[in-house]
Amino acid sequence: MISAPDQEVHSRMDITRPARAAMITASALGLALLGASVAVPDADASPSTSVPSSTAPAPARPEGPADYTFLSSPDFMNCDLADVSKLRTWHRGLPNSWNSAYAKTVDTILDSFEAEQPDDVLVAGDLVEGHWGRDDDNTGIFGPTRKPKQRTAAIKRAADFYFSRWRQRFDARDLPVYVAVGDHDIGDNPWRGGEDPRWNRFKRAHVGAFKHALYRKVIAPSHVPNRPHGSARDTAYATYLDPEVLLVTVDVFRVGGGNVVPQLDRQQLRWLDRTLGQAERRGTDWLVVQGHVPVLKPVRSTGSSLLYYRGGERSPFWKVMAKHHVDLYLNGEVHDISVRREDGITQISHGGTIQMANSDGRGSTNYLLGEVFGDTMWLRDELFIPETIDFNGELWQVGASHRPVIRKVVRDTPKNVGHLVLTSDNQLLASDGLLTPLR
């Protein structure tokens, strides 16, 4: 078991905490998921709050090793988790965004990732909390933030620190990782108006700086030369993970009209069309696209601001994917698990945050394991259930909002919550649990 380097996690605490502080020992997950109709609490905006029964009995998984295996876990970690006591600006008495409980939780999750022996790991955005450029507790850990130039410098220091610690965790375990940009990786939405319009305007003006920091510290080490021209050059790319598996990572955040909107810019869209067309002509079996937000809606959500791609299935983005018979679109943002299918494309919304504090695991980290056996892909989703949650305090983050509970420890073994089987000609063979497509 490898101990992950010091690091930070992202916090999205849209969950109401109980009035009394208490240590909660989580009960067993109350989801009997396979082959049954299951109630899902807070399944926001979905056509039904229950999981339909299996579409068909799952065929037997092929024996032996897969031709190719990937693991996908969007919103990992969606929190600033790292040991800031390692910084020269830290001294005794200052807070820390790291403790023994989160060290254990991060290790437990990454141990599970490593045990699956994936060839690659995919993370569709929200690696961090990203509320950088401010210092609500006046700690000075990332420098002063009173003036615009100071805030800009603080963003760079925090981004370099948290993004590099995030990447080091995967490098320490020899896990190749490919990420997409999420809203928290560029300061978190909103970027216009809101309760603090001046701060949101500042974030919007520095989206490029956020994206470039993500590129330098996380994307560039993966050596992905096929990238578009224009504003998405740092954060969109395509790479063959296997001779028969193309991954295209898109940047769904475009600055325009005085806001940041979930939409590909024209240069990126032309590049996507060209890249997928080349893969089709080559005869590539599996075309996989990852982006941070869902396109098809509705999907289940837990503690999410529910960003959706502008235009949905009528958007040029979706039409380009349909034109080239993309097999799989993977997204995060919603901290819950849903499958939708349209035009032969299977959209899987999944992933979750380390600090989401529901005792049944809703909103918590989960991962999708995909195994390719020739023209068949086997997928299963595994959810991490809390063992203990301590509401007695909050773990420090530079921003005062969305701070996680002070302690959250997950069980050593995740809970399987669904299966899905696809073919490379865009057919669904079988599904069950939370991977049963929503209707």
Secondary structure of 66-78 in HEC code, one letter for each residue = CCEEEEECCCCCC
Taking 60 as the threshold, does the pLDDT of residue 54 lie above it? no
* Structure confidence at residue 25 as a pLDDT band (50, 70, 90): very low
Taking 70 as the threshold, does the pLDDT of residue 129 lie above it? yes
Residue 238's contacts (CB-CB under 8 Å, 6 or more residues apart) are 224, 226, 227, 246, 247, 248, 249, 275
Taking 60 as the threshold, does the pLDDT of residue 352 lie above it? yes
Q: What is the pLDDT of residue 60?
A: 79
Do residues 303 and 363 touch, judged by C-beta distance below 8 A?
yes
Taking 70 as the threshold, does the pLDDT of residue 185 lie above it? yes
Pick 52 or 413 by higher pLDDT: 413
Q: What is the pLDDT of residue 61?
A: 86
3-state secondary structure of 131: coil
Taking 60 as the threshold, does the pLDDT of residue 160 lie above it? yes
Whether the bond between 77 and the residue before it is cis, its omega within 30 degrees of 0, is: yes
> Stretch 377-393: mean pLDDT, rounded?
97
- Distances from the Cα of 288 to the Cα of 4, 329, 386, angstroms: 29, 6, 31
Residue 165's contacts (CB-CB under 8 Å, 6 or more residues apart) are 5, 6, 7, 8, 81, 82
Q: What is the pLDDT of residue 439?
A: 85
The per-residue pLDDT of the chain, averaged, comes to 89
Q: What is the pLDDT of residue 58?
A: 61
Q: 187-191, long-range: CB within 8 Å, 24+ apart, which pairs?
A: 187/130, 187/131, 187/132, 187/133, 188/129, 188/130, 188/131, 189/260, 189/305, 189/307, 191/259, 191/260
> Stretch 365-387: mean pLDDT, rounded?
97
pTM summary value: 0.88
**How many Cα atoms are found within 13 Å in the side-chain-facing hemisphere of 118?**
25
Q: What is the pLDDT of residues 99-118, one digit of tens each?
A: 999 999 999 999 999 999 99
Angstrom distance (rounded) from CA 170 to CA 122: 11
* Structure confidence at residue 31 as a pLDDT band (50, 70, 90): very low
Q: Measured on CA atoms in the order 26, 27, 30, 35, is the torsion positive or negative? A: positive
> Stretch 254-279: mean pLDDT, rounded?
97
Taking 70 as the threshold, does the pLDDT of residue 195 lie above it? yes
Taking 90 as the threshold, does the pLDDT of residue 66 lie above it? yes
Length of the chain: 439
> Stretch 51-65: mean pLDDT, rounded?
67
Taking 60 as the threshold, does the pLDDT of residue 181 lie above it? yes
Q: What is the pLDDT of residues 291-321, one digit of tens each?
A: 999 999 999 999 999 999 999 999 999 999 9
Q: What is the pLDDT of residue 1?
A: 39
> What tokens were used for 209?
């700086």
> Stretch 192-202: mean pLDDT, rounded?
93
Taking 80 as the threshold, does the pLDDT of residue 23 lie above it? no
Taking 90 as the threshold, does the pLDDT of residue 40 lie above it? no
Tracing tokens 């006591």 back to the chain, one arrives at: 85
Of 36, 59, 31, 57, nearest to 378 by C-alpha is: 59
Q: What is the pLDDT of residue 56?
A: 55
Taking 80 as the threshold, does the pLDDT of residue 43 lie above it? no
Q: What is the pLDDT of residues 206-235, one digit of tens each?
A: 999 999 999 999 999 999 999 999 999 999
* Structure confidence at residue 57 as a pLDDT band (50, 70, 90): low
The percentage of the chain sitting over the pLDDT mark of 90, rounded to a whole number, equals: 84
The secondary structure of residue 239, as a DSSP letter, is E
